[in-house]
Structure 1
Amino acid sequence: MVMDAFLRVWEEFVNIATIGNEFDKLVLSKVRPSYKNGKFFIFVKDEFTKTWIEKNYLDRIVSTFKYYDVEVEVLLEQRNEEKMLKNSNLPSNGLKSKKVSSNTYLKDNNICKEDNLEKVDGNVVVVEREEDVSIVPNINPRYTFDNFVVGPSNDFAYHSALNVSKYPGKNYNPLFIYGGVGLGKTHLLHAIANEIQKEKKSKKVIYITSEQFTNEFFKALNSKTLHSFRIKYREADVLLIDDVQFFKSSMKQAIEELFHTFNKLAHDKKQMVFTSDRTPRELEEIGDRMISRFEGGLVVEIKKPEFETRMKIIELKLKSENLDIDEELKHFIAKNITSSV
């Protein structure tokens, strides 16, 4: 989440700015940061602390968050928190009993996620929510592991993708699937996303094509919103990128961004899956650094399906469309169409 990213920025600032000064560190660790609508709030309990921060640290805090195009304001907690909540359109009535979450506070029980703040009987309380970030844009819910036809040509790729969906970030990272057009690479990416969406609702999953990634990057670069772009991709739990063969040497900045995104996710043990129509070694335009990273995980191939697998695919397709054709015609189709199945 964006909130979590800015909390980490705050923690890093405090750790660096107060090196060798335990008193300052103690004071800054007792405030409660929060973020809403492009603004970073620092809640303090008394006027003395507010004045002290504004005099000694506010300029440096503002400078740190200016990089992310985020404004900073120091507020007295009791008087201004309610005002912020009201302006943020958080619910103030009709609430059922809430349980205070021990996981809401990230450090010394002082830092609280603003999404978990609500007003109950005029008092600000911390409530526990089950966060669901798993609804993935661009994912076709019809592409699942259940309707992926498995045969000798794709068995290894299928089971590798299934393992990744069950244990993201654990075994095969990155997973790189390559093969010709229409053999099921995209189906497996969608199946991974759908399986994680179903079983691990708290996971942030991103599916995107290489073209979409590149377009979004240059749009962010031109509009000076790269910080939001980086937070989006570098805070993902699972990143799925389709058709990486379309990254070209002329897209150096986008490839550089992909490189640093890869390193961040790999460091955090977050799952990555890539697809291509060729092996990593053949992706000459993407550069040696990315090739070595693609090859650092598990590389699997999907081959053209043999006759029996093609027959199963035809039968499944007919069943899904509630159609029936002559057995002889099925054999004719399976015999003559060997790719883009």
Structure 2
Amino acid sequence: MWTMKIEPFRIDVPQSDLDDLHARLDRTRWPDELPGVGDEFGVALGRVRELADHWRHRYDWRAAEAELNSYPQFVTEIDGQRIHFLHVRSPRPDALGLVLTHGWPGSIVEFLDVIGPLSADFHVVVPSIPGWGFSGPTHERGWDVDRVARAWAELMRRLGYQCYGAHGGDWGSAISRALSAYDAEHVVGIHLNYLPTPAVPGDPDRVELTPQDQERLRQTEAYMHAQPGVRQINGTRPQTVAYAINDSPVGLLAWLLDVMTMWAADDFPISDDRVLTNVTLFWLTGTGGTAPRLHRETSGPPSWKTVQPVGVLVLPEDITRSIRPYAERRLPITHWTEADRGGHFPGLEVPELLAADIRDFFLSL
């Protein structure tokens, strides 16, 4: 029997855990690398060595811990699972509540640079998806996108929000869409910075496309052909890779860094410290291997049942870019922004742009 109690939470990692991390980094058994391959076979050895050295000798987890603890944090139990979340209330008493949902290989770290700008106008709730960080690990099967959405609806109810908005990218996009369908009575709108649209030429809903959209279609197909490995592993055999990334911090670093490098903008505008805070959060909570369970648990495409207004932010260097005619056939799009920079992680790459677009959309409702 689970309780509806909400308890304050503060991160205080034992020093012994940090000492163990450093000892493991010191004992890294480095792999061989073919000469001249760069990142063609995976993330380059030189880059991982560089970041691992920074992690061991210069990165300051205690500073990151203090930054996380500067925001009010809480835990509650929903559907048998501990849910960890940040809850930053706006000085405006009439502010709309917003629930921001991260994706993979990210975490709540994705939103650390947007909470401040958004909390001027909104009450901001940032939960960790079950299986991630201090919401992990999961303890039973069944934590798919729809179940997470139901948990978010219950969380927002417990926090007293009669109406609220939702934002997300990556898994956060799918969860926000499912939430809007499940809790349509209370969700006033959703904002997405990642919205995969049908990209199969034979799709029955195919419409006349502009040259720009045709190029997006080609790029999407090229991405799906070139980068299926990570999604296939996470979606089929997450336990197998968990043995490696739960035991080796450099293994975890390489696994997450490879994906972040492929999916972010080419100039990779994410600081080394932000990358390492994200990786360290997975490491210290032992959830590098449990977060991918969401991929394995979730089957079928995300919901297209949203009836509320939808805002979309398209990033020019994302792994796929939304095709507006396809999106408008399926969702009630009322806000569409084509950004001039940014990739799959706008909260880490272009936080000011992301915060401004979220604000513009929800203040227009």
TM over 0.5: no
Structure with more contact order per residue of length (Cα contacts < 8 Å, sep ≥ 6): 2
Is the radius of gyration larger for structure 1 or structure 2? 1
TM band (smaller chain): under 0.3
